[in-house]
């Protein structure tokens, strides 16, 4: 075998070392790029209201007034609409008046006081043989009757109080109040129309809760298991491509759609100033590095 000169052998060794170093560097860069691309995945998403409800009444009647209009912001517990309730208000006022009547109770109390004195006198006289025992017994029966009348008056007053509470409950069924703070997105019935619970046209207003907003992200099934509640994400809306918002994963759909091979992740997007509308497409970017480190064995 022919031996190479010393200078040539040294040159070959240096070339081989450089080749190995270059290949290692290229591999490391490729791996880093792949990890970086995988760690910051971006997906299409849709910004939706956190909750949308159609509000109506539990009883039927004629719609008397709607206190809000489309686009109005409302607070939780705010009065939105009311049915005509003049008859119910009159019934409640009558029940309240009956519950405050003191005449029957005072009359029965006075009768008891008189009957008590009368019975005591006749009992003493009967004990001294000045009156027949029958007169004492009659006075005692009178006293018992007066006591029964007082109890009846007290019970009637309590019944009237309960009737008033019942009428107040009936009145509460004839108004619509907001179950949460949100925005009126539609008016569905106008004053003068009849509201019929259970009918096709029963809702009065449609309300949407826009704080927080809900972001729906559809992901490929290959990424299932990489997302957990509480993970942070960056949302870039279609109408404001230069602005980004922070959101957090609220829930992960545990089922995968067999047809499309996808699953859904929901995020909560704070919207305290209501400056972000719903129904907007967006891009969601997740940092899954921490998630992979947690789920890896």
What would the two tokens of residue 22 be? 């270059």
pLDDT for 106 = 82
Confidence band (pLDDT; 50, 70, 90) for 109? confident
The DSSP annotation for the chain comes to -PPPPHHHHHHHHHHHHHHHHHHHHHHHHHHHHHHHHHHEEEEEEEEEEEEEEEE--SS-EEEEEE---TT-EE-TT-EEEEE--HHHHHHHHHHHHHHT--HHHHHHHHHHHHHHHHHHHHHHHHHTTSS-HHHHHHHHHHHHHHHHHHHHHHHHHHHHHHHHHHHHHHHHTTEEE-SSSEEEEEE---TTSEE-TTSSS---EEEEEEEEEEEEEEEEGGGTTS--TT-EEEEEETT-TT--EEEEEEEE-S--BTTTTEEEEEEEE--TT--S-SSEEEEEEEE-HHHHHHH--
Lowest mean pLDDT among 65-69, 156-160, 265-269, 293-297: 293-297
pLDDT for 296 = 39
Confidence band (pLDDT; 50, 70, 90) for 54? very high
pLDDT at residue 202 above 70?
yes
Lowest mean pLDDT among 58-62, 123-127, 250-254, 256-260: 123-127
pLDDT at residue 292 above 50?
no
| Cβ atoms of 204 and 62 closer than 8 Å | no
Q: Where are the domains of the chain?
A: 40-50+209-295, 86-173
Interior CA angle at 269 toward 265 and 275, to 5°? 140
- Omega before 212 cis (within 30°)? yes
pLDDT tens digits, 205-245: 999 999 999 999 999 999 888 888 999 999 999 988 888 89
Per-residue pLDDT averaged across 132-160, rounded? 83
pLDDT at residue 53 above 60?
yes
Domain 40-50+209-295 has CATH 3.40.50.300: no
| Cβ atoms of 200 and 218 closer than 8 Å | no
């Amino acid at each position: 075998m022919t031996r190479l000169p010393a200078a040539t052998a040294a040159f070959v060794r240096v070339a081989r070392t450089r080749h190995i170093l270059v290949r290692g560097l290229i591999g490391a860069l490729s791996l880093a790029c792949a990890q970086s691309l995988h760690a910051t995945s971006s997906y299409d998403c849709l910004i939706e209201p956190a909750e949308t409800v159609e509000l109506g009444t539990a009883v039927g009647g004629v719609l008397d007034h709607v206190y809000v209009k489309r686009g109005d912001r409302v607070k939780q517990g705010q009065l939105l609409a009311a049915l005509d309730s003049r008859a119910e208000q009159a019934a409640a006022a009558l029940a309240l008046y009956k519950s405050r009547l003191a005449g029957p109770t005072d009359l029965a109390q006075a009768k008891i006081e008189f009957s008590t004195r009368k019975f005591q006198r006749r009992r003493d006289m009967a004990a001294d043989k000045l009156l027949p025992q029958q007169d004492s017994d009659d006075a005692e029966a009178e006293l018992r009757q007066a006591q029964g009348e007082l109890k009846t008056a007290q019970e009637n007053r309590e019944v009237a109080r309960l009737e008033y509470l019942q009428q107040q409950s009936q009145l509460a069924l004839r108004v619509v109040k907001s179950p949460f703070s949100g925005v009126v997105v539609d008016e569905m019935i106008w004053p003068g129309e009849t509201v019929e619970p259970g009918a096709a046209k029963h809702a009065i207003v449609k309300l949407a809760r826009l704080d927080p907003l809900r972001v729906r992200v559809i992901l490929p099934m290959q990424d299932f298991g990489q997302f957990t509640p509480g993970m942070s994400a960056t949302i870039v809306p279609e109408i404001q491509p230069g602005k980004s918002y922070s959101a957090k994963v609220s829930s992960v759909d545990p089922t995968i759609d067999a047809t499309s091979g996808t699953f859904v992740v929901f995020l909560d997007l704070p919207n305290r100033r209501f400056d972000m509308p719903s129904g907007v497409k967006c891009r969601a970017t997740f940092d899954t590095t921490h998630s992979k480190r947690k789920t890896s064995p």
